[in-house]
Amino acid sequence: MTVTQRINQIRQQIPSYVRLVAITKQVSVEAMREAYAAGVRDFGENRLQEALLKQKQLQDLPDICWHFIGHLQANKAKKILEHFHWIHSVDDRAIAQRLNRLAAELPNPPQVFLQVKVLPDPNKYGWQIPELLAAIPELEQYHHLKIQGLMTILPLGLSDEQILVAFESTRELAQTIEQKSKLSMEQLSMGMSDDYLLAIEAGATTIRLGRIIFGERIS
């Protein structure tokens, strides 16, 4: 199947309110152009340098919405704020504070997700739930940080049942935060190639798909 066919097939499976972000790390700009021609406008990258190069190569497509999904290194935070419309990976206090400070100087800072670990996973970044709840008063003061909701990545090796429960608990956590605070938790970024249908069932509003559109990555 071609990229176009895969995108059309996915579109038929998902409700129209779900934002499909095509994850294009290690994907060629040619394949990205094909996805664009098939109607995709949201692209996600996890490395700044690779993304900046592709943004340059695709600057004739001005209506692309760029999503940063990788771990944010403090020294790259400013550039990432300047070059992306969404950041999915605000994963601790220090980076949230820094982004808020830097965003104050920008006319149009990106919208952000707080990346949370609803299950323990030593290989991933993200807030632990108690940590996140404790940080709410601080996050409420970050008026330049346009928090829209939670993002999560689940550990590998879960059953469908466990995946669904984990995604549902992410949605419930967002609801709890919304009730306890002034933070907006309207958006939920969850679901990748292997679990996006379960994520949508649990309330995802944004899904992040790589391999199922573009095929397996090399590494």
For the four alpha carbons of 134, 135, 138 and 141, in that order, the dihedral sign comes to negative
Report which residue's Cβ sits closest to ligand PLP: 210
Site for ligand PLP in 138-177 (CB under 6 A): 153
Nearer to ligand PLP, 132 or 204 (CB): 204
Query: Which listed residue (18, 69, 112, 185) binds ligand PLP by CB under 6 A?
Result: 69
**Token pair of 170 as six digits:** 């992410």
Return the number of the residue (62 or 120) whose C-beta is nearest ligand PLP: 120
Counting contacts by CB under 6 A, is residue 180 touching ligand PLP?
Answer: no
Site string for ligand PLP, 72-111 (x = CB under 6 A): ----------------------------------------
DSSP codes, 21-73: EEE-TT--HHHHHHHHHTT--EEEES-HHHHHHHHHHTTT-TTPEEEE-SPPP
171/167 Cα distance (integer angstroms): 6
Q: Is 215 left (phi over 0), alpha (psi -120 to 50) or beta?
A: left
Q: Which is nearer to ligand PLP, 192 or 197 (CB)?
A: 192
Query: Smallest gap, in angstroms, from Cβ of residue 180 to ligand PLP?
Result: 26
Q: Look at the chain and count its residues.
A: 219
Burial of 59 (0-12, 13-18, 19+ CB in 10 A): exposed
Q: Which residue, 53 or 104, has its beta carbon nearer to ligand PLP?
A: 53
Instruction: State yes or no: residue 192 binds ligand PLP (CB under 6 A).
Output: yes
Q: C-beta of 116: minimal distance to ligand PLP in Å?
A: 13
Contacting residues toward ligand PLP, per CB under 6 A:
23, 25, 46, 69, 153, 192-193, 208-212
